[in-house]
Chain A
Amino acid sequence: QSALTQPASVSGSPGQSITISCTGTSSDVGSYNLVSWYQQHPGKAPKLMIYEVSKRPSGVSNRFSGSKSGNTASLTISGLQAEDEADYYCCSYAGSYVVFGGGTKLTVL
């Protein structure tokens, strides 16, 4: 049950777009279209932003989008806003369990 690999940090200016990568293996990300992404502000509970690779829950801005290629999933945030500054975690089903990434701190400059 090894963790998925995410960059420790990314940054961008307001209005720009950023992409966070999430690399797994052929046993998790590469085998299932069941990747999800969570946003977590300091001291708060995580919030589901993307599920099943690219689906957005009701109420989540369409500035957030997800994709997958091979063993790597990606979260793209367009039109960066100050409120997007948070930690982001990817998660993948791996056959009877899920594995999270180590998290990426997004800084809005």
Chain B
Amino acid sequence: EVQLVESGGGLVKPGGSLRLSCAASGFTFSSYSMNWVRQAPGKGLEWVSSISSSSSYIYYADSVKGRFTISRDNAKNSLYLQMNSLRAEDTAVYYCARGDPYSSSPIHFDYWGQGTLVTVSS
């Protein structure tokens, strides 16, 4: 059974940093692109970042470019999101989502974790 479990969320002050993790199991992690998608309270979904299976291709939404860094460790079946210079508008539930095994680009997301809440507030 495919499982994605996020961790690392919490309360952080504006300008602060946070590192999210996503532990994957139940599939060959190293064969799939992986993604972060967020959802602000009461709002819709927003794609944040994607990384290809071998980390060769990395993509970011304009809203986080230069502040967030996606990475993965295939040996540990783990995905990460380093978030710096956090702003109030980054407050959201952050979901880890599995991508397509045949594409290095974000296309669709077939499995999602339950999400981890990041709150940016003073």
- Give the segment of B16-24, B72-80, B83-91, B100-108 that binds chain A: B100-108
Please report B residues at the A interface, Cβ cutoff 8 Å: 37, 44-47, 50, 59, 61-63, 95, 105-115
Q: Size class of A's contact patch?
A: 20 to 34
Q: Are A46 and B105 in contact (CB under 8 A)?
A: no
Contacts of B46 in A (CB 8 A): 100
Closest to A93 in B: B107
Q: A46-B95, A97-B59 are in contact. Are A89 and B110 (CB under 8 A)?
A: no
Interface of B is mostly: loop
Q: Does A91 sit within 8 A of B, measured CB to CB?
A: yes
Q: Are A96 and B44 in contact (CB under 8 A)?
A: no
Q: Are A36 and B108 in contact (CB under 8 A)?
A: yes
Q: Does A103 sit within 8 A of B, measured CB to CB?
A: yes
Q: Are B105 and A47 in contact (CB under 8 A)?
A: no
Within the complex, which residue of B47, B107, B115 is in contact with A100, where a contact is CB–CB below 8 Å? B47
Pick the 7 closest A-B CB pairs, nearest first. Answer: A36-B108, A45-B112, A103-B44, A51-B108, A100-B45, A98-B106, A98-B47
